[in-house]
Amino acid sequence: MATLGNEVVQTALKIPVESQYERRFGLSSPWEHYYHPSDTAPQGRFECELDDMVVFGDIPQEISGTWYRMLVDPHFCPQPGTPFVDGDGNVSAFRIQDGKISMKIKYVQTERWLLERKAGRRLFGRYRNPYDIHPCVQLANDTTANTNIIYWGGNILALAERGLPYALDPDTLETRGADPYGGQVAAKTFAAHPKVDPRKNELVTWSYSAKGLSTRDICTYSIDPQGRIHNEHWFQQDKPGWPHDGWITDNWIILSNMPFAVNSDEVMKAGGDYWRFVPDQPAEFLVSPRLSNAPNHPAWKPGEFRKYTVDHGLIIHTGNAWEEEDGILKLESHFVSFNVFSFFNAADYEGPKSMPTGDWKRWTIDLSKPDGSELPPPETLLSGIFDFPIFDERLTGRKSKIVYLGQMTSPGTPRPEFDAVVKLNTETGETSTFDTAKDGRVAEPAYIPRGPDCEEGDGWLIFYADQESSRKGELIILDTNDFSKPVAIAQLPFVLRNQVHGNWVQNPHPERPLPPLTGPIRDVTPTPQYSQLNKLL
């Protein structure tokens, strides 16, 4: 779920919460710090499935596919102060076929999750801190597979940038195993936001800390649908960095390096965090050719990469990018004015006193400029606080004009949440906005094309929403041409845990309908000898 304590905007605002002890006769729970407020915070740690969700309205018959969402859901109680980014990956999937929705929630059975289940308790400590784990798991695969989930080459890939992917079965969500590409590349991590090139039909990804924890190495490469690795390129940045997201064009890969540094071993041995926010450090764009030995620019040497900088700020999530004439790149993203990940702040950090911003921007990179150049100021396309950008991925790497964004409309209120979804036409500046209920909030949307040959951005959006006043979550389906009301709302019997990211996957076999996500039904035949209703003569 998109909140200020989540992946985008976090202020120093502290919201007082009434103590719950009086209603529990003075009894306490170690989970109180995590499920907070304990009366209303949605709990997790379960798996379930549902055949036919309650739907208000009519789901368009043309929609056939699955919406896979990733929940951060620690199976065992984390220690107080654990960042929200640390927890087990629990997949929440919704399959739409013939106007009905089936649902399944199932944990990714990572090595870490299995080891803790076997031990019956928490064994891993603070995020990426190698000194805060039980000795029995020091050599274990500690990735949580909890950040993003995509479809590639017949697998669902559960991703967390601290390790390699886990492959899942798209229909059952059963875990098939770790490292589905069989060690073809020496990189030890995998991007949380790899990009699919729809024209070359390849998955473009990167690995930072690619040679191990805190290393400066970055590796970029491509994966074809058969799982074969191509275009492997290694380079080193001047320090360990955090390129969480990035862009691709036909010839280039650009990574957004956020202003964080790795804490010293001494800090981590004392129980500190892995990352440390660095105030005033410029934001960085790390640019590399997709074909490293044949860069498509006369000023670039084979194997080269360059870093470009801008003023201090965070680019956490990116939109589309494309190439223009004379070696000019255009990239779109938000630009956040303060640290979203407040738990990585130093104890004496004082945030900016002005109102937070997260405007939607367009950046220009002139590839003829040397390494270390500062970029010109970006163009502001829309002002406000935005995140979770979605565009028509049929146009990845090519010029596009439609982007869908989550918006926080009231950042200074006692309960700041992402509470609206916006459609922006970047050519005309025209916007359409869908607002949630007064006490509602929304998660990252997903885009469903109306058809294989529809116009850019035409189709539907699907996203999760809930309300503070309701104990039921909802899936909302909007027609992209009419934000005045949904075409359908599917109601859940409970509120779900926070979503990080998710993706819509069209039916990969449109010639046949998708099976429900629920388990197979055991064969059954009527037994007349037990019937109490037989009135046949």
pLDDT computed for residue 391 by the predictor: 98
Q: Read off the pLDDT of each residue in 284-292 and give the average, rounded to a whole number.
A: 97
User: Does residue 317 sit in helix, strand or coil?
Assistant: coil
Q: How far is CA 173 from CA 14, 92, 108, 532, in A?
A: 38, 9, 8, 40
* Least-confidence region, from 26-35, 54-63, 225-234: 26-35
Whether 16 is covered by a domain: the verdict is no
Q: pTM for the complete prediction?
A: 0.94
Average of per-residue pLDDT values in the chain:
93
524 in any annotated domain: no
The 10 Å CB-count burial string (b at 16+, else e) for 236-254 is: ebeebbbbbbbbbbebbbb
4 within domain boundaries: no
Mean pLDDT, residues 206-219 taken together: 98
**Whole-angstrom distance, CA of residue 1 vs CA of residue 298:** 45
At 284, is the pLDDT very low, low, confident or very high (cuts 50, 70, 90)? very high
Tokens of 83: 């960042």
Distance CA 125, CA 342 (A): 19
For the chain, report the end-to-end CA distance as a whole number of angstroms: 59
Number of domains forming the structure of the chain: 1
Whole-number pLDDT of residue 348:
86
Task: Tell whether the model's pLDDT for residue 412 goes beyond 70.
Answer: no
Report pLDDT for 414.
53
Higher pLDDT, 149 or 9: 149
pLDDT over 60 at 21, yes or no: no
Asked if the model's pLDDT at residue 199 lies above 70, the reply is yes
pLDDT surpassing 50 at residue 342:
yes
pLDDT at residue number 24 = 80
- 244 appears as a binding residue in the annotation: yes
Does residue 236 lie within any of the structural domains? yes
- Measuring CA to CA, how many Å separate 213 from each of 162, 241, 265, 436? 9, 11, 11, 41
User: What pLDDT shows up at residue 347?
Assistant: 84
Query: Which segment of 162-171, 315-324, 349-358, 480-489 scores lowest on mean pLDDT?
Result: 349-358
Residue 77 is part of a domain; what is its CATH number? 2.130.10.10
In a domain, 535, yes or no: no
**Residue 372 falls within a domain, yes or no?**
yes
Tell me the one-letter amino acid at 109. Answer: Q
| CA gap 162, 149 in Å, rounded | 14
Predicted confidence (pLDDT) at residue 102 exceeds the cutoff of 60: yes
Give residue 10's pLDDT: 39
Give the pLDDT of residue 18.
52
How confident is the model at residue 437, as a pLDDT? 85
3-state secondary structure of 154: coil
317 is in an annotated binding site: yes
pLDDT for 365 equals 98
Residue 99 placed within a domain: yes
Residue 492 has pLDDT above 80, yes or no: yes
Within a domain: residue 345?
yes
| Average pLDDT value for residue range 200-226 | 98
177-186 pLDDT, tens per residue? 999 999 899 9
Task: Identify the band that residue 173 occupies on the pLDDT scale cut at 50, 70 and 90.
Answer: very high
- Could you read off the pLDDT of 380-392 as tens digits, one per residue? 999 999 999 999 9
What is the span of the domain harbouring residue 242?
Answer: 48-519
DSSP letter for each residue of 97-136: ETTEEEEEEEE---HHHHHHHHHTS--B-STT-TTSB-GG
pLDDT of residue 529: 86
- pLDDT range class, residue 8, cuts 50, 70, 90: very low
Give per-residue pLDDT as tens, 24-56.
Answer: 888 889 999 999 888 888 999 999 999 999 999
Tokens describing residue 508: 């990969």
pLDDT average, residue stretch 461-468: 96
Range 147-176 average pLDDT: 98
355, pLDDT greater than 80: yes
Q: What is the pLDDT of residue 3?
A: 47
What confidence score (pLDDT) does residue 22 get?
60
- 4, pLDDT greater than 50: no
Q: Give the model's pLDDT for residue 36.
A: 85
Higher pLDDT, 4 or 170: 170
